[in-house]
Copies of this chain bind each other. A is one copy, B any other.
Amino acid sequence: MRETLPKTPAAARETRTARAAQAERTAFTEKAILDAAEQVFARRGLEGTRVREIAGAAGVNGATLYNYYPSKTALYEAVLDRGVQPLIALMEGYAAGPRELETTRTLVAEVMSQLSRHPHFARLIYLEAMAEGDYVPTLSRKWFRPVVDGILRELRGGPVPAEFGQGLHPLVAALFLHLSFGHFAMAPLLREIFDVDPLSPAGVERQTRFIDALILQLFPQLTNGRGGESEGKGAG
């Protein structure tokens, strides 16, 4: 809008091309910044992170960040938002679907797959939770509660194993949180303890199968007449 009108078609094409290249470069830089920020924030948290560290990891000057985000906090929130969007999309599909064991098993697998694509994001969420950050209520409302509500509704469908006592359901829902997000967030510690990389494809797959098997093991009553497929999966 601001530039002078191109005088010739050739110039127009040239301009368009230049503009496209520019836009591409911008998008590239922005992604580099977001990726770098995700990684660094996941280690140090919002307050412990130095913006120059993000800039260094992104390969740009510290001042450049401010061409993309008005503040460190804004960048932090952008990272959180970018990570949470795909999860919300998954959750919406899940909430819209039928209340069946199968749906939940699928959701778990998809969440694990998504988290493995942004391996630092779960850590970020854990950090935010432990810092009792402002984002926690929002996060809880927009993502965790809907998912948990779905799980709880389904659990209510079957009898509770007597030996667990009252108030079991929230703990089971929390168990899934621990096994999915916790697996990624605690990767550094687990790696240290077990000498295997929880973030490797094999590590993620193993944990995914483990969760799945646990569902079937814990709630056999939910699998009436459908045990066959689960065994096929678990025996792999």
Contact = CB atoms under 8 A, between A and B. Distances in A.
Copies of this chain assembled into the complex: 4
A3 interface: no
A156 to B, nearest CB: 15
B194 A231 contact: no
Nearest to A50: B47
A163 B213 contact: yes
A194 B165 contact: no
Nearest to A160: B236
Given A140-B192, A192-B136, A235 B162 contact: yes
A171 B161 CA distance: 23
A231 to B, nearest CB: 6
Given A168-B210, A207-B171, A236 B189 contact: no
Contact of A210 (B132, B162, B171, B185): B171
A172 to B, nearest CB: 8
Interface of A: 42-48, 123, 125-127, 129-132, 136-137, 140, 144-145, 148, 161-165, 167-168, 170-171, 173-175, 177-179, 182-183, 185-186, 188-190, 192-194, 196, 206-207, 209-210, 213, 216-218, 230-236
